[in-house]
Amino acid sequence: MICRVLTCRVLGPVEIQVDGTSVPLPGLLPRRLVTALAAAHGRPVGEDTLIDLLWGAEPPANPRSSLFSYVSRLRKGLGADRESLARAGDGYLLRVGDLDADRFAELVEHGRRLLAEGHADQAAQALAGALGMWRGEAFAELPEHAASYRARLGELRAVAVEERLAARLAAGDAAGTVGDLEKAVRAEPYRERRWELLILAQYRSGRQADALSSLRRVRDLLAEELGLDPGPALQDLERRLLLQDPRLLREARPAGTPRPLSAFLGRDTELALLGRLTSVHRLVTLVGPGGAGKTRLGVEFAADRAWFVRLADSADPLPAVAAALGLRGSTLERVTAALADRPGMLLLDNCEHLAGPVGELVLHLLAHCPGLRVLATSREPLAVTGEQLLPVDPLPVTAAVELLVDRISAQRPGWRPDAADAAHLAHIAAALDGIPLALELAAARSRMVSLGDLSDMLGDRFPSLGTVPGGAITPHQTLEAAVAWSVDLLPPAGRALLLRLWPFEGGFPLDAADDDLDRLSALVARSVVAADIDVTPTRYRLLEIIRAYCRAHDPDPAASRRGHADWVHALVARWVPELSGEHSSHAMRVLRRDLANVHAGIEHDLTAAPEAALRTASLMAWFWFRAGHTATGLRLLGAALAAAPHAPAADRGRALAAGATVRFISGDLEGARRWLDEARKVLDPPADQAERVVYAQMLYYESVVAHGLEDYPAAERRARESVAAARAYGEDWIVPSAEVCLGFALTGLGRLDEARAVLTGAIAEALGRRQGWAAALGEMGLGWVGLAGITPGRAGSPVAPDDALAAIRRSLRLFRVEDDLGNLLTCLYMGAQALALAGRRETAAVLLTAVRGYAVRRGIDPGLVSPQLSAAVDLDVDVRLDEQQMIDLLDPAV
């Protein structure tokens, strides 16, 4: 895996780089495009807005095509990382890993925080670095579009100038700053902060008369030009000057906390956010799972300015705080008195086992010590008034790989990862869920084993990665000890629930935990289960290392696997039948969301309960067909059929018949016909109602495959038989789909007017039954009728290309709602032909090339339903589009 960093500079003429290499932006329009996208700060910018920004009142003849051309060129310049410039809604968004305007703001905030906490020299360096990032006017290419953003940056730049001078003054360079402050005052004479600093610098330089003169100057300026008196800060400074307050000549210095020696990586965002939170809130708690790096983040943030209190081995927080303060006694009164008039920060580390006592102590200290702030690290909140939480999540894969490379390089001088190493590093990072402690231990192991061996070690069992090296700040000696610390703190009921959740793959909903929200919430609060509350319904997930620990310590793993499989059976039985009705699209989303769990359940049942595996796989075949999961679906269907040769006929027949449709969309027509022949042997004649339902469906599946083989008479016979069987069996819900198949067969036979009538009736019946999928297939049939009618030598009423295109677009929209990838690609494939026949050959060629490439990557053949496209469409184009971009070419309204 190649980890690429996209850098954008807007503090001056716009520049963009990928991994440090500049991307050419020749001409004003490409620079405006990048500037507009960067100014959106990761949010989508609509096409209409971009067109207006690029061309104003004089757009080109086809502005959307021109915009797409500029986007394509920019993507090409970005190289392999196509996700950096992505389609989003009706526009585009630019995912920038490093925007200089953001770094400037973070660096200014960091400098101000350092200055506020007494680190004047470091603050001056940070603020000087921030100001050095400016190369000219911000967002120069689009000054009006980014006016508010420019104004904020301009104000922050002015503040940075002032804070840098304040830092130099605080560091003792009073005489040296006077001249620079005079220039700053002349540049912006109404900024009172600059006058305050100038007056203070003059006073500390022994120039008291000049300081008083400057006070008179600013009073006169504000009165004469603005009609105002000086603000409270200047008035207070004047009072203190006249009193010759000795505090004007000294600066307070806080205590310190040593940093570890290794590089601190991957937490720039959290550091910046922590700075903003602690500037507003007096109690901030870093919460997250064991090993996520809470302690290291806290130490890096509070280094040299906090009292570090380690609580992991403490039974009472008060003595530990007293020891950190250097007190001989540990009474609450003594600790309170020591902090009452001392501004500073307490860093309370590993509070989870003492959350109650720590919360009580913190509330007392904050109430009686007005200059005190508290930063805590814990696997669960302290749950007290005024607490501000900052979650410390595992590192994303890119940052996790960066940490691995840094730590391995420290132990193997001269080593640089090659392509094979990069793949192993990505797997290791993912398998360890981006947990820094686990990554550190894995890197230490790399001295003894290759990255390939290390990657193979991280399978189902808990990773044995050795002990923590000396000098680390974690209180745990092994990864297992860190996880055990979290699990052992749980109450018995919570621990029992956690230990049986490990079979779930890719997360789970609330009902997987028996709808026990209280117990599950407790697990989330203690950071052993993660909750994604940005989706509905909420998804829950165990980190991989916690899953592995639970697997290893589950007292009855077989029961947990059975419970998971039973949950899968219920899920599939509940939602697959909905795929034929009005809740079809919701059912697709539910099944797609838990597809990893369904597949894991089938894999378990293949050996533990083969007939259950076949039943689940047979039901899921319809989902695999619609979602385009051909390879996985066929593998599991084949395995289940082999494992359960004596399963009930309905299940076995369904697996063969519905599985034939999966073979069909993969392009394996002969394999599809063989499976249908086997299904007929199993089901003909059907013995009960369950078998009759499958038999009626099998008949129209046979029509579909016969159509693909261009055996249109057989396709007509099977479709009519399916309609008759469905009505005879009282399963009229099957009729619309069977009639659509009949319409396709009649089109293949050249009976276009009859086909149009059958399809129109099928669509009406499908919509009456709220069967959106069948209606979508019917609209696709009308599209093909239209294309066939345009083709020379075909009988039937004439059809305009736009009419065929309209039917295809209606089908596309319905299939998009139904979340049917295979048929959506077929619509796009047919749409390319319609565009070509309408004279839009270049757009047709681009769309056809993109659809073919996308379909090949998904193992789907979209040309089976529609006639072959004319070779005249195949222009020499080289394009790779995502799903939304292809849809935009055919139907921008979707």
CB 285 within 8 A of CB 390: yes
Q: How far apart are alpha carbons 67 and 36 in whole angstroms?
A: 13
Residue 868 pLDDT level (bands cut at 50, 70, 90): very low
Average pLDDT over residues 523-538: 83
For the beta sheet containing 6-9, the strands, ordered from the edge strand earlier in sequence to the opposite edge, are 21-22, 15-18, 6-9, 98-99
Q: What is the pLDDT of residues 155-170, one digit of tens each?
A: 888 889 999 999 888 8
287: pLDDT confidence band, cut at 50, 70 and 90? very high
Tens of pLDDT, residue by residue over 438-492, are 787 777 777 777 888 778 777 554 555 545 444 444 554 466 766 776 777 788 8
Q: Residue 412 CA to chain centroid, in angstroms? A: 33
Q: What angle do CA 85, 827, 816 make, to 5 degrees?
A: 60
Predicted confidence band at 504 (pLDDT cuts at 50, 70, 90)? very high
Average pLDDT over residues 522-544: 84
CB 141 within 8 A of CB 164: no
Q: For residues 871 and 689, which has the higher predicted lDDT (pLDDT)?
A: 689
Could you tell me what percent of the chain has a pLDDT over 90? 30
Residue scoring higher pLDDT (447 or 870):
447
> pLDDT: is 146 or 396 the higher one?
396
Instruction: Decide if pLDDT at 871 tops 60.
Output: no
More confident residue, 363 or 857: 363
Average pLDDT over every residue of 882-893: 78
Residue with tokens 């290791």: 428
Residue with tokens 């004007």: 248
Q: What is the pLDDT of residues 620-661, one digit of tens each?
A: 999 999 888 888 999 999 999 999 999 999 999 999 999 999
Q: Which pLDDT belongs to residue 388?
A: 93
pLDDT of residue 1: 38
Residue-level pLDDT at 145? 65
**CA-based max dimension of the chain:** 111
Q: What percent of the chain has a predicted confidence (pLDDT) above 70?
A: 89
Mean pLDDT in residue range 654-675? 92
Identify the pLDDT of residue 720. 97
Provide the pLDDT for residue 486. 73
pTM: 0.62
Mean per-residue pLDDT, 307-323: 85
Neighbours of 569 (CB within 10 A): 19
In this prediction, residue 739 carries a pLDDT of: 96
For residues 679-701, give the mean pLDDT: 94
Which range has highest mean pLDDT (6-15, 326-335, 385-394)?
385-394
Q: What is the mean pLDDT of the chain?
A: 84
pLDDT of residue 260: 67
Q: Between 506 and 881, where is the model more confident? A: 506
Better-predicted residue by pLDDT, 44 or 655: 655
pLDDT for residue 82: 56
Helix (H) or strand (E) holding 88: strand 85-88
> What stretches of 511-564 adopt beta strand conformation (E)?
530-532, 539-541
pLDDT of 562 over the 60 cut: yes
Q: What pLDDT, on the 0 to 100 scale, is given for residue 478?
A: 60
pLDDT at 249: 61
Phi, psi of 793 (to 5 degrees): 85, 0
How much is the pLDDT for 587? Answer: 92
Least confident of 334-343, 457-466, 805-814: 457-466
3-state SS of 589-646?
HHHHHCHHHHHHHHHHHHHHCHHHHHHHHHHHHHHHHHHCCHHHHHHHHHHHHHHCCC
